[in-house]
Amino acid sequence: MSVTQEDAARMRALAAQLGHPQGEDGLRVGETMHESNIGMTRACLAALALQADDVLLEVGHGNGAHVAECLAAAPGLRYQGLELSALMHEDAARRNAALGEAAGFAHYDGQAFPFPDACFTHAMSVNTLYFLPDPPAFLAELRRVLRPGGTLGLAFADAEFMRALPFTEHGFRLYAMEAVRDALAEAGFLPGEARRIEEQVPSKARPGTTQSRPSWVLTARTPA
């Protein structure tokens, strides 16, 4: 089937919003991302096995509609979000204002994290790898801010599945599980577990429909 110029423009715009939500369209995309990401987020949280009084960093939290659920994972857990999108940072902070000091939100430029060394017990990031301009630098920052023996969880959709989507040709970097595992090792992380999940999720390209999406949840640890 041929792709019209209008369809191609729509996919380019969608890809741009998925990588960096902005404006009214960005708010709508944020809602869609929450709906499609929540299963992967829950799987990532389960893989981290959070304990009482842990300190969790999430990079790329989107609209933050899941943060209260994150905090329910362990008593006394503290949550810190970090976002590239100013719109998502503001939306998440607004949505979660009632959580008080249990949840913090920071905005950054996509480079160095605005946190001191070794300040988190756990870190996670869901569906962000595709948009990183410098993946090794990103992983190095995650290792820097994790405490010795800290655990990282990364969740991302399978490359073969992503390659078939009509918007991923517009600036997405796709990953096979083995490539992410190797990149973690190169960044100095110790291997953890790799879990494959599959779920029905809303289609971003065809609103009102669903599709079966295979994804990966990888964990890794910093040396103790």
Q: What is the dihedral of CA 27, 28, 29, 31, to 10 degrees?
A: 90
**Given this model, what pLDDT does residue 1 score?**
44
Range of the domain at 118: 5-221
Amino acid, single-letter form, for residue 128: T
**Quick one: tokens of 159?**
């490359």
What pLDDT is recorded for position 182? 97
Q: Give the number of residues written for the chain.
A: 224
pLDDT at 92: 97
In this structure, are residues 154 and 192 in contact, taking their beta carbons and an 8 Å threshold?
A: no
Could you read off the pLDDT of 24-65 as tens digits, one per residue?
A: 888 888 898 999 999 999 999 999 999 999 999 999 999 999
CA distances from 117 to 103, 135, 148 (A): 19, 19, 10
Give the count of domains, the chain. 1
Which of these, 107, 162, 106, lies nearest to 129 by C-alpha position?
162
Task: Please identify every stretch of the chain with a pLDDT value under 70, giving residue numbers as ranges.
Answer: 1-3
pTM for this predicted structure:
0.92
Neighbouring residues of 10: CB distance < 8 A, sequence distance ≥ 6: none
CATH number at residue 123: 3.40.50.150
- Residue 215: count of CB within 10 angstroms of its CB: 24
